Amino acid sequence: MATDKSVKRNHGGMARKDRAFKGLTLGLALTATALPILIALELARTSSPAIHHFGWKFISSQDWDPVHELFGALPFIYGTIVSSILALVIAIPLGLGAAIWLVETAPKSLRAPVGFLVELLAAIPSIIYGLWGIFVLVPILRDHIEMPLALKFPNFPLLSGQPLGIGMLSGGLVLAVMVIPFITSVSQQVLEAVPNSQREAALSLGATKWEMIRTSVIPYARSGIVGAIMLGLGRALGETMAITMVIGNVPAISAHLFDPGYTMASVLANEFSEATSDMHRFALVEIGLLLFILAIIVNICARLLISKTAKGIAETGTA
C-alpha cells in the first residue's frame, strides 16, 4: 500500500515537472515568435508620422534633403536592389559551382577542409570585408578595371561612369564575397540530400558525369538551390558596414556601375545618429521598416523553397 502511494506521488511529481517544462518551452517559443512582430509594430509606430506625411510618394520620390525635410527612399531602394542583384550574378555561379564540386567531384580528402574554409567566410566580421574592399579591392578596380574600361567604352551604358573604384560595382563585389558561403553551404546540403538512385539511373543510361549532374541532380534539387540563393539575397539586402565603406553613399540613381550609390542599410548607419529633425528620424525609421519587410519576405520564400525540396526528397525516399 505504501509502495502504491509512493509510486503515485512520484508519478504526480513527474507530471508537474512535465507541465512546468512544457509551459517553459511554450513561453520561450512564444517569446521568440513575438520578437519580430513587436519589432515590426514598433517600427511602424515610430515611422507613422512619415508614413502619413509622405504616403506612397516616399517610395517613389528621389529627393533626399534633410535641410528642407524632403525625403524619398527610391535611391536607397534602387541601390539596395541593384547591389544585391549584382552580388547574386557574381556569387551564384561561384557558390553553386563550389557546391557541385564538393558534392560530386571533389576527392574525399578535400571535401571537409575546403567546405570548412568556405563556411569560414561567413564567420568573418563584415567590417573586415569593408577594410579589404577599401584597401585591396577598390584600388584594383580603379586602376586595372574601371579606368581602362571607361577609356575604351566611354558610352557603354553599364561599364561607364566615374572610375573612382568606390561605387556600385565594388559594393556588389564585396557583397558577392559575403554571399558565396551561404549559397555554397546550403546548396551543398541540398545536393547531398539527393538520392543516389537519381545519379545511378542517369549513369546506367550512359550519361556522363556532367550530364548526370545537369539532368538528374540539379533539377531534383532546384527548389532548394533557389532557396539557398534567396537566403543569400536576404544576406545581401541587410548587409550594412562592408557595403557602406565601398559604395560611395550618394543618394542618386545611375545606370552606370562605376558611379557611387546608396543602400537602405547604409543610410541608416550613416545618418540615424546625426538626424537633424524629428521628420528626418521618422523617415529613416520608415526606411528601416521597408528593409525589415523586404528581408522577412525574402527569408520566408527561401525557407518555403528549402522545405519543399526536403519534403520532396523525403517522400521519394519513403516511396
| Per-residue pLDDT reduced to its tens digit, 244-288 | 999 989 898 888 888 899 999 999 989 888 888 889 999 999 999
Q: Does 21 lie in the same domain as 118? A: no
**Cβ 244 vs Cβ 151: under 8 Å:** no
Q: Does 166 lie in the same domain as 259? A: yes
- What is the average pLDDT across 157-169? 81
Domain ends where: 14, 32, 54?
54
pTM of the predicted structure, to 2 decimals: 0.84
Residue 23: domain span: 1-54
**Cβ 206 vs Cβ 252: under 8 Å:** no
Does position 73 have pLDDT exceeding 70, yes or no?
Answer: yes
Q: Does 94 lie in the same domain as 24? A: no
- Categorize the per-residue pLDDT at 202 as very low, low, confident or very high, splitting at 50, 70 and 90: confident
Q: Does 219 lie in the same domain as 240? A: yes
Instruction: Please state the domain count of the chain.
Output: 2
pLDDT tens digits, one per residue of 116-152: 888 888 888 889 999 999 999 999 998 888 888 888 8
